[in-house]
Structure 1
Amino acid sequence: MTYRVMLRMEIKEGMGREFETVWVAIGDSVTSHPANLGQWLSRSEDETGVYYIVSDWVDESGFRQFEKSERHIEHRQKLHPYRSGGGMYTMQVVAHVPSSKGPATHEEWEAAR
């Protein structure tokens, strides 16, 4: 089953938009790793300056290999100037119930709204 990592990142005041831009620009340093299945960046609507990053991995060992890599260290260094706090949570996905209907792409979803 998929191994999921969720980061809660507290971003310094006034740096949110720049953080988002840098996160997208350097995202392939994570997603190009063979064990990575994709990642998502979300901004909290309840807490100012709080972001959640979710990344899925083929297994825990693949994630741990990435976590110890030079690539990960460089990625963290580029995001560190924006961060004021946060935490990491890891989990094993135990079930997935896909949508039986609905838009296949973000563009189709937006058009249906």
Structure 2
Amino acid sequence: MPEPAGNVFRVMLRMQIKPGLEHDFEKVWLEVGDSVTTHPANLGQWLSRSTEEDGVYYIVSDWTNEPLFREFETSDRHLQHRQKLHPYRSGGSMTTMHVVAALSGAAS
């Protein structure tokens, strides 16, 4: 049975990390992550490393709605967060979406 998705707004970042800095990037991401997860509109975030492309990471974060994410995105809090991660990046992109449905797997 599908779970209701509500108005969840999902953001997916694709980040290319400079060669040799992957471990440091992961460490700093964990250290500064609470600047995102302590925002009242944030539902959680995940860091994943690609198994297909060296130095590529995906950051997924879920938000209660798009307007509150956009408010966070332009805040000083977010600017400080980005500045701490920027030295590790050589490129990246952002994709946004509305969650339409969610299915739980048997192992959950």
TM over 0.5: yes
1: CA distance, partners of 2:68 / 2:27: 27
Higher relative contact order (CA 8 A, sep 6+): 2
Q: What TM-score results when the alignment is normalised by the length of structure 2?
A: 0.92
- Aligned runs of 1:63-102 on 2, under 5 Å? 63-99=69-105, 101-102=106-107
Consecutive aligned runs of 4 or more in structure 1 exceeding 6 Å deviation: none
Offset at residue 20 of structure 1 (A): 0.1
* RMSD value, Cα: 0.8
Greater percentage in helix:
1
2: CA distance, partners of 1:63 / 1:6: 12
Equivalent in 14, 19, 32 of residue 25 of structure 2: 19
Q: What TM-score results when the alignment is normalised by the length of structure 1?
A: 0.88
Q: Which residue matches 2:4?
A: none
1: CA distance, partners of 2:65 / 2:104: 20
Unaligned runs of 5+ in 1: 104-113
Unaligned runs of 5+ in 2: 1-6
2: CA distance, partners of 1:91 / 1:102: 26
Amino acid at match of 1:97: L
